[in-house]
């Protein structure tokens, strides 16, 4: 019996030893594959670096599955991207840009590219093209001609699905809604898109949108929309009906400033939603027509719009409501990461705004046109629209504001969850919202830069690719008597946070 037990023990030991050896062999094979892959990447990087200034000329391009796109539209995209490349490095960059433009303009679902060559040809040194090729090739030989590679890009397009319909629900910031959406994409072969949206919800009682957009060039887009929207704002109900026209740029991100110029005409109906509404809110009730021109200028180098770990974002917006007011707002955002895999991330956000009324004595500025501060996506630990002047329980909004936030994020200090999309979060927020009544700049600065409402807290963030979720335990540090504070847990969902 003892012999049998000894043999079983030896067999178990051998099996265990064999398993360890198999596991060790697999680990070694995996490490070897990674090593070979890294060597190949380094080889091709070195090869590209040595030849990145080779002169090239795109004399022809082959595009497959382009039957749904007009020829002149494709030609304009090619001329603005790969058609301007004069060396290998530029060709690779412009090829990526061409694929990005084809997709972002709604001309294709995806664009795969390969590069082929038809050999080389000679360019006389005294020709018009030669000086440009010298400047990028970094060399000038003693011969009378320059060798240029004749490149033929081949593009394989995946056509867009022209008609689509989808339904769904959205939940966040104490609001829930359901939506129905229809889209007709690339309607006439130039990236044109028609969209119809219908939404029903809690705070947004109903919303209907009919929109049309199209690229007018590789760098500019035209948007137009008709809309009808019924929603709550504080303790008021707003019914908005109007039209908006805009022209926006789509220059290379991080290399150029982008613009958006728009005109909006809105017929607005305001109704008090409570029998105990304040005198201020009652004075705002009724119908009015607003016509406004606006311009936005922005710079964006963030590596993600939902949860960036590096980069910056700056935006300046100016709005002129004809015969009513002029309004300016500024937002500056900077984020940076430290340690391996961006283990620690810190961000700083600054927002500010100023509104000057043309006829403050004759007509009050509508509270929906004023600034509002506070909420889970804004100055945390305060209710939505919780900062600033109040009449009874109704937010009156403000004519000038300043808000700022400093946040620190960390990966979870547990190995099993350290690579997940969850982050620990600590923040400090502050700001002030005032009504200045067109006072002088010295009085305005004295009020705006003193007696800030502040808060701090800890929480957990989930960085989803499409949206960001936060749950924080918040504590107000300083507040005005008119502020609506919220101590304890606060939940937020959105794309932009303070």
Residue 490 lies in a domain: yes
Rounded to the nearest integer, the mean pLDDT of the chain is 84
In a domain, 385, yes or no: yes
| pLDDT exceeds cutoff 70 at 129 | no
Domain boundary pick from 158, 185, 203: 158
pLDDT beyond 80 at 74? yes
How far apart CA 202 and CA 469 sit, in angstroms, is 20
What DSSP state is assigned to residue 159?
A: -
Distance CA 120, CA 59 (A): 11
Q: Smallest Cα–Cα separation from 240: which of 209, 196, 272, 214?
A: 209
Considering the entire predicted model, what is its pTM?
A: 0.80
Does 259 have pLDDT greater than 90? yes
pLDDT of res. 140: 47
Kindly provide the b/e burial profile for residues 256-268, where b requires at least 16 CB atoms within 10 angstroms of the residue's own CB: eebebebebebeb
| pLDDT over 90 (residue 493) | no
Task: Show Cβ contacts of residue 42 under 8 Å, excluding neighbours closer than 6 positions.
Answer: none
Predicted confidence band of residue 124 (pLDDT cuts 50, 70, 90): confident
Q: How many structural domains are present in the chain?
A: 2
Q: Is 90 helix (H, G, I), strand (E, B) or coil?
A: helix
In this structure, the strands spanning 145-158 and 62-64 are: parallel
The answer to whether the CB of 56 falls within 8 A of the CB of 151 is yes
Q: Assess whether pLDDT exceeds 50 at residue 394.
A: yes
161: which 2 tokens? Answer: 């699905």
Q: 266-295, pLDDT tens digit by residue?
A: 999 998 877 778 888 888 888 999 999 999
Segment 29-41 shows an average pLDDT of 73
Q: Residue 177 above 80 pLDDT?
A: no
CATH number, domain at 105?
Answer: 3.10.20
Tell me, yes or no, whether 188 lies in a domain: no
Give me the percent of the chain exceeding a pLDDT of 70: 85
Flag whether 49 is in a domain: no
135 has a pLDDT exceeding 60: no
In a domain, 483, yes or no: yes
At residue 382 the predicted structure's pLDDT band, cuts being 50, 70 and 90, is very high
Domain assignment of residue 124, given as a range:
56-158
Kindly report, residue by residue over 415-451, the tens digit of the pLDDT. Answer: 888 888 999 999 999 999 998 877 778 888 888 999 9
Please tell me the predicted confidence (pLDDT) of residue 138: 47
3-state helix, strand and coil shares in percent for the chain, rounded to the nearest 5: 20, 50, 30
Q: Return the CATH number at 356.
A: 2.40.160.50
Per the domain annotation, does 214 fall within a domain? no
Q: What percent of the chain has pLDDT over 90?
A: 39
Q: Treating both helix axes as pointing N-terminal to C-terminal, what angle do 2-51 and 88-104 enclose, rounded to 10 degrees?
A: 110
Q: What is the pLDDT of residues 139-171, one digit of tens each?
A: 445 456 777 888 888 888 999 988 988 887 665
Among 134, 158, 182, the domain-final residue is: 158
Kindly report, residue by residue over 315-334, the tens digit of the pLDDT: 999 999 998 999 999 999 99
- Residue 139: φ, ψ to 5°: -150, 150
How far, in Å, CA of 446 to CA of 434, rounded?
11
User: Distance between CA 75 and CA 66 in Å, rounded?
Assistant: 12
The mean-pLDDT minimum among 61-70, 104-113, 353-362 falls in 353-362
Return the pLDDT at 457: 95
Query: Per the domain annotation, does 203 fall within a domain?
Result: no
The number of angstroms, rounded, from the C-alpha of 11 to the middle of its chain's C-alpha atoms is: 61
Paired residues of 123 in beta bridges = 146
Q: Domain boundary residue among 123, 158, 193?
A: 158
Residue 394 belongs to a domain: yes
- In degrees, to the nearest 5, what angle opens at C-alpha 192 toward C-alphas 189 and 195? 135
């Amino acid at each position: 019996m003892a012999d049998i037990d000894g043999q079983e023990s030896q067999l178990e030991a051998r099996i265990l030893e064999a398993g360890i050896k198999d596991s060790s062999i697999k680990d070694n094979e995996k490490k070897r594959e990674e090593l070979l892959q890294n060597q190949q990447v380094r080889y091709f990087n070195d090869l590209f670096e040595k030849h990145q200034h080779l002169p090239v000329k795109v004399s022809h391009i082959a595009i497959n599955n382009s039957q749904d796109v007009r020829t002149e539209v494709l030609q304009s995209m090619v001329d603005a991207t790969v058609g301007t490349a004069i060396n290998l490095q530029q060709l690779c960059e412009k090829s990526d840009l061409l694929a990005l433009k084809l997709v972002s303009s709604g001309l294709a679902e995806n664009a795969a590219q390969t590069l082929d060559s038809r050999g080389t040809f000679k360019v006389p040194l005294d020709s018009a093209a030669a000086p440009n090729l010298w400047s990028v090739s970094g060399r000038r030989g003693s011969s009378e001609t320059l060798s240029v590679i004749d490149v033929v890009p081949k593009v394989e397009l995946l056509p867009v699905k022209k008609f689509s319909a989808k339904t769904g629900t959205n939940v966040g910031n104490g609001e829930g809604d359901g939506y129905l959406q229809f889209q007709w994409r690339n309607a006439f072969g130039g990236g044109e898109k028609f969209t119809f949206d219908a939404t029903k919800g809690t705070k947004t009682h109903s919303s209907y949108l009919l929109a049309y957009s199209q690229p007018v060039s590789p760098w500019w887009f035209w948007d137009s929309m008709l809309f009808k929207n019924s929603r709550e704002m504080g303790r008021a109900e707003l019914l908005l009906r109007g039209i908006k026209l805009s022209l926006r740029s789509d220059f290379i991100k991080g290399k150029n400033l982008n613009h958006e110029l728009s005109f909006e005409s809105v017929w607005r109906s305001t109704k008090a939603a409570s029998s105990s509404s304040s005198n201020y809110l009652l004075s705002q009730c009724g119908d009015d027509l607003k016509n406004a021109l606006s311009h936005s200028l922005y710079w964006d180098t963030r590596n993600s719009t939902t949860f960036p770990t590096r980069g910056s974002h700056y935006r300046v917006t100016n709005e002129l409501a004809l015969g009513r007011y002029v309004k300016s707002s500024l937002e500056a955002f900077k984020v940076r990461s430290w340690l391996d895999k961006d283990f620690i991330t810190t961000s700083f956000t600054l927002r500010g705004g100023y509104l000057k009324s043309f006829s403050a004595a004759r007509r009050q500025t509508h509270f929906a046109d004023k600034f509002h501060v506070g909420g889970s996506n804004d100055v945390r630990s305060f209710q939505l629209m919780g900062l600033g002047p109040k009449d009874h329980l109704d937010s009156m909004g403000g004519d000038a504001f300043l808000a700022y936030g400093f946040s620190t994020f960390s990966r979870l200090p547990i190995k099993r969850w350290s690579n997940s999309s969850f982050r620990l979060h600590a923040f400090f927020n502050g700001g002030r919202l005032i009504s200045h009544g067109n006072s002088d700049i010295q009085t305005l600065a004295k009020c705006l830069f003193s007696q800030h409402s502040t808060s701090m807290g800890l929480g957990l963030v989930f960085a989803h690719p499409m949206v960001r979720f936060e749950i924080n335990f918040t504590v107000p540090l300083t507040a005005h008597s008119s502020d609506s504070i919220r101590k304890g847990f606060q939940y937020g969902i959105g794309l932009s946070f303070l």
